[in-house]
Structure 1
Amino acid sequence: MSVVTKWCGGLLLLVLAGCSSLPANELQQVREQVDWKTREALDQFLKDVPGLEQELEQSVGYVVGTSDVLLLGPLGGSNAVAVLHDNREQSRLYLDVHSLRMGFGLGAKGGRFLAVIHDPDLLAQLRHGKWLIKPGASSNVGAQNGALRYRNDELALFVSSDSGVSAGAGMKVSQVSVNQRLSNTAQSSYNFPSKNSAHTQNQQAPRYWGHTLPFLGKRAVERGFNLPMPLGVGVVRADVRQEMRIEHLEVGFNGNGTRPYDFVFFGAESDLITEQVKLDAWVLPFLNLYGTFGQVNGDLDLDIAIDGNAMLDQIGKDCTGIIRPPVCYLFENKQVRFPVTADLSPMNYGVGGVVASGWHDWFLLIPFNVTWTDSDKAVLEGRALTISPRLGRGFAMNRAGRVTLFAGGNYLDVRTVITGSLAIPGTEQILDYKVDQKNSDRWNLVAGANWDITPRLSLMLEYDGFIGSRDAFISALTVRF
């Protein structure tokens, strides 16, 4: 009994779906079985179709595949294994073909097919996975030397079987996807580049990276690194509460401008929720760059006091007479305390990057970014600088993907300018203010987890706190392609 039948119950097609956990040596024997069956299919087509060899040489590539069981009928499904040969790069890629036919026709066992590809765009699409929807019969479909043929500008398709040519009519929907285990595509199971001693070049299944990004990606793959899918789109939510410190205060009255004032600071706290869209790309094997944009919503509470006599001088009130203005009783020889609450909803945008690398299941990440906040009403303007080194380890969850746990530090430098006005109780005066502030504590600790559900989908949860006066909860959902 062969390795294939021993592990998968007899059908080669089921190897691809049911043997994802095969050890490397058994996986190589499965790959050899696939190569043998597809070479046999190609030799048969070369024998049956005159001029096919020359057409193959002139093509950009071709797909040859076999199906041990081909089920047609009112609602039938077929599965096939195929090998994509790229004539330009002299490489090959193993494909899964999952099909659904709706219509009628005749069935056959031992089916095989050959698609000679003339369109480079189609070849690129097949290398990244593609849905194909095509009619099952038309005026340009017919039998030629024992093979059913379909031809258009993109490809020439030949289909045959051991027990006769299949024929029918209807619509066929096929999903072509890369078999990651057989193809050795160097795609990382994590969302960061990683190296493993098992990630080596293999003549039977050369390591392959079919994306333009990152630059130098093919060289990194040749040196044993697996890479995440290069592009990402995500949504990020951050709930941040932290203490702030006032650096500079300017005060004015009734819209007549502001000037610096000596002040006493009692405290300030911001409680903000930021929701952003994030676009990122791995531009180098170990460097990811990204941009974000979104909106901030929350409150800022300030508690400050200024000298009452200085306020009276600025608004031009004389408190030396017998009949004194009411504001004199409120401010003269007193320290006037103003609690200020600002309701904030400015726009937020930023740029940043991640320097990352992994060894086996361990990894080191150093994210960094600069974010700017800008309000149309000039209520809040500022910028924030973040650097957050972290170390972690990944764990396989079988069919549930992989989970990485990480911990590290977070440096956050926030500098903002808040402007606004408030009515002074008991008077007709309007106090105008401008406050420069920064966060009280720059460093704190970070702990979190990232769940790579698939290489295309990941969920991240992070707590930023433990020490200092800042508490932050951050979550992100990212789709990669």
Structure 2
Amino acid sequence: MRTWFIWIVISAMMVSGCSSTLSPQEASQARQNITADVTQLKQSLSQHVPDIQQQTAQSYAYLATFMSRFKAPIVGAGKGIGVIYNNQTHTTTYVNINRFDLGAGLAYGHYQALTLFANEQELQEFLDGGYKAGFTNETHGLDNDEVGEGSYQITGDWPYKTYVYHVDDQAVVGTYQFRTLSINKELTQTAVGEARVANKVNKDNEREALQWHRALPFFAQDVVDKGYDLPNPYGVSLIYAETKQTMTITELEAGFSFWDRGRIPMMFVTFDNNSSHSRSPQLKVDAWLFPFMNLFASVGKVSGTAHIEFELDGNDLIDQIGLECKPFPPQPLCQKLYDFLKDGSVHVPLDVDLDGYNYTLGTVLAAGWNDFFIAVPVSFSYIEMDKANAQELVLNASARIGKQFSWSRGHSIDGYIGASYLDSDLTLIGKHYLPVGEPNEYIDYKIRQENIDKWMMLVGANYNFNKVWSISAEIGYKSSDKQQFISSLNYRF
């Protein structure tokens, strides 16, 4: 168990080291700086476009962009940050912008721009992101579109009305421009929260209106409007699970190689050391379908063993088969059984290889309030073995209650306790050769094995590096007869 946990910790540290996260104070200061820059941009443009304040106020929404760029005769590129003010919903969205130019022209330096959106459709087209293309003419001092020295209006096939103000920028450009857009999640005060479940942290009237820009979960905006923050809707996890538990035999069918009646139900005596021990690395994907309901699926490689022992009583066996072995001399089949059962019974120990694959489907019902949370995962797994004629069905349901503790730069830890119900039903079919009778004679068996202790207590923690990356570990324990360890590296987007 320890080796896998250390590996996941190292992986998470490497991931965390590559992630840039602003503290709440730094993000707040950055937003203030951008707001001041937007005010200055409007003032600069108003010298040449006197009604710029009126135009922005009357637009459905507008974008202020701050870019740097370089353009050689054929190709060019630029990047920057922008902020979208929606006059209808009174929301503010920060975006990362990259542009690529193909065509004639020269440009270098820094420039700022105001883009006006006339309606919701234009804004949504812009927010959809991806690659957007259009021909732009950014030559200074156009005859019909001149807006004053030091600024100009973009013309051509560009679909949005845009005014550009150059700071130390020089441009004579007529190019086909490609643009990529992504929401800046560190600066945008979205409803994506720090918690891994829907978490109500504010009263309905204590925060500004926030917009949910994702397709899932359904009805997200309804709960956001009620003061809930939501986690990123999609997730990918690398999981390692290890389970040890005692088992009991509930059904046994057996037959013998020297008779043709096949397997029949048998009376048997079980021993105390029936058990299973499995290990499974898994890949899991999940999505929040509704704000309080997550659906997930996983596939993994299973390795382990099941140790089984049972004892067949000779007299019961002969009675169940329905043989009449008296008076002597017994018929040949009876003699074979006497050879098998010369001590009155036969003891059968089995070590079955459980290597195979597991497939899991499940759901999580969860909600939080002021960083306290409750989660109820339910899953159903099917395990198919490669090297043995065996399959296992596992039903797992649990309840967890916990709290998130946060500190600087988006780091937090979720601690929780709970109880888990695990019902494991393992069916094994095979042959067991016994060191009695003729060579290569065997018992043909079918065994159904179930775990004895289905309930256990659990305790766990999830360490969040930010809203995207986290690592978790959980221990389930009933006694020395039932133990479980699960760890995971998680990515949300």
Q: Residue 87 and residue 29 in structure 1: after superposition, are their counterparts in 2 closer, same or farther (change >3 A)?
A: closer
Q: CA RMSD in A?
A: 4.4
Q: Residue 479 and residue 163 in structure 1: after superposition, are their counterparts in 2 closer, same or farther (change >3 A)?
A: closer
Aligned to 2:403: 393
Aligned to 1:217: 220
- Equivalent of residue 192 in structure 1, options 190, 197, 209: 197
Q: Which structure 1 segments of 5+ residues have no match?
A: 1-16
Q: What is the CA-CA distance between 1:339 and the residue it aligns to?
A: 0.3
Q: What is the CA-CA distance between 1:278 and the residue it aligns to?
A: 1.9
Query: Any conservation in 2 of the 1:119–1:154 contact (CA below 8 Å)?
Result: no
Query: Any conservation in 2 of the 1:346–1:380 contact (CA below 8 Å)?
Result: no
**What are the Cα deviations for residues 411-435 of structure 1, in whole angstroms up to 9, with x where unaligned?**
1111222211111223342211111
| 3-state SS of paired residue (1:460) | strand
Asked whether 1:21 is paired with 2:24, we answer yes
Which runs of structure 2 are paired with 1:355-374 in the superposition (5 Å)? 355-374=365-384
| 3-state SS of paired residue (1:22) | helix
- For normalisation by structure 1, the TM-score amounts to 0.77
Asked whether 1:95 is paired with 2:98, we answer no
Asked whether 1:340 is paired with 2:340, we answer no
Aligned to 2:362: 352
| 3-state SS of paired residue (2:215) | coil
Query: Which shows bigger deviation, 301-310 or 328-337?
Result: 328-337
Asked whether 1:412 is paired with 2:405, we answer no
What amino acid is aligned across from residue 470 of structure 2 in structure 1?
S
- For normalisation by structure 2, the TM-score amounts to 0.75
Which runs of structure 2 are paired with 1:309-320 in the superposition (5 Å)? 309-311=315-317, 314=321, 320=328
Aligned to 1:446: 458
Aligned to 1:10: none
Q: What is the CA-CA distance between 1:45 and the residue it aligns to?
A: 7.9
| 3-state SS of paired residue (1:142) | coil
Which runs of structure 2 are paired with 1:58-457 in the superposition (5 Å)? 62-66=62-66, 70=68, 80-85=80-85, 91-97=91-97, 107-108=108-109, 111-115=111-115, 127=127, 141-143=138-140, 144=142, 145=146, 146-147=151-152, 149=154, 151-152=156-157, 158-162=163-167, 165-167=170-172, 176-180=181-185, 182-197=187-202, 202-203=207-208, 206-254=209-257, 256-266=261-271, 267-311=273-317, 314=321, 320-321=328-329, 325=335, 328-332=338-342, 334-375=344-385, 379-399=389-409, 401-427=411-437, 428-457=440-469
**What are the Cα deviations for residues 289-326 of structure 1, in whole angstroms up to 9, with x where unaligned?**
22223332221110110113455674979694399857
Q: What is the CA-CA distance between 1:209 and the residue it aligns to?
A: 1.2
Q: What is the CA-CA distance between 1:441 and the residue it aligns to?
A: 0.6
Q: Residue 108 and residue 88 in structure 1: after superposition, are their counterparts in 2 closer, same or farther (change >3 A)?
A: same
Q: What is the CA-CA distance between 1:200 and the residue it aligns to?
A: 5.2
- Give, in whole Å, the separation in 1 of the partners of 2:486 and 2:121: 40
Aligned to 2:13: none
Q: Which structure 2 segments of 5+ residues have no match?
A: 1-19
Query: Any conservation in 2 of the 1:253–1:315 contact (CA below 8 Å)?
Result: no
| 3-state SS of paired residue (2:190) | coil
Q: Residue 299 and residue 360 in structure 1: after superposition, are their counterparts in 2 closer, same or farther (change >3 A)?
A: same
- Give, in whole Å, the separation in 2 of the partners of 1:443 and 1:118: 60
Aligned to 2:7: none
Query: Any conservation in 1 of the 2:195–2:231 contact (CA below 8 Å)?
Result: yes
- Give, in whole Å, the separation in 1 of the partners of 2:421 and 2:261: 39
Q: Residue 189 and residue 323 in structure 1: after superposition, are their counterparts in 2 closer, same or farther (change >3 A)?
A: closer
Q: What is the CA-CA distance between 1:471 and the residue it aligns to?
A: 1.4
Q: Residue 181 and residue 61 in structure 1: after superposition, are their counterparts in 2 closer, same or farther (change >3 A)?
A: same
Query: Any conservation in 1 of the 2:21–2:410 contact (CA below 8 Å)?
Result: no
Q: Residue 89 and residue 25 in structure 1: after superposition, are their counterparts in 2 closer, same or farther (change >3 A)?
A: closer
- Give, in whole Å, the separation in 2 of the partners of 1:464 and 1:188: 28
- Give, in whole Å, the separation in 1 of the partners of 2:228 and 2:31: 20
Q: State the number of aligned residues.
A: 452
- Give, in whole Å, the separation in 1 of the partners of 2:98 and 2:297: 37
- Give, in whole Å, the separation in 2 of the partners of 1:40 and 1:265: 87
- Give, in whole Å, the separation in 2 of the partners of 1:436 and 1:44: 85
- Give, in whole Å, the separation in 2 of the partners of 1:227 and 1:45: 44
Query: Any conservation in 2 of the 1:395–1:404 contact (CA below 8 Å)?
Result: yes
What amino acid is aligned across from residue 253 of structure 1 in structure 2?
F
- Give, in whole Å, the separation in 1 of the partners of 2:187 and 2:205: 14
Q: What is the CA-CA distance between 1:374 and the residue it aligns to?
A: 3.8
Query: Any conservation in 1 of the 2:267–2:316 contact (CA below 8 Å)?
Result: no
**What are the Cα deviations for residues 396-420 of structure 1, in whole angstroms up to 9, with x where unaligned?**
3423632222222111111222211
| 3-state SS of paired residue (2:422) | strand
Q: What is the CA-CA distance between 1:53 and the residue it aligns to?
A: 6.0
Query: Which shows bigger deviation, 157-166 or 357-366?
Result: 157-166
| 3-state SS of paired residue (1:185) | coil
Q: What is the CA-CA distance between 1:465 and the residue it aligns to?
A: 1.5
The percentage of counterpart residues that share the same residue type is: 24
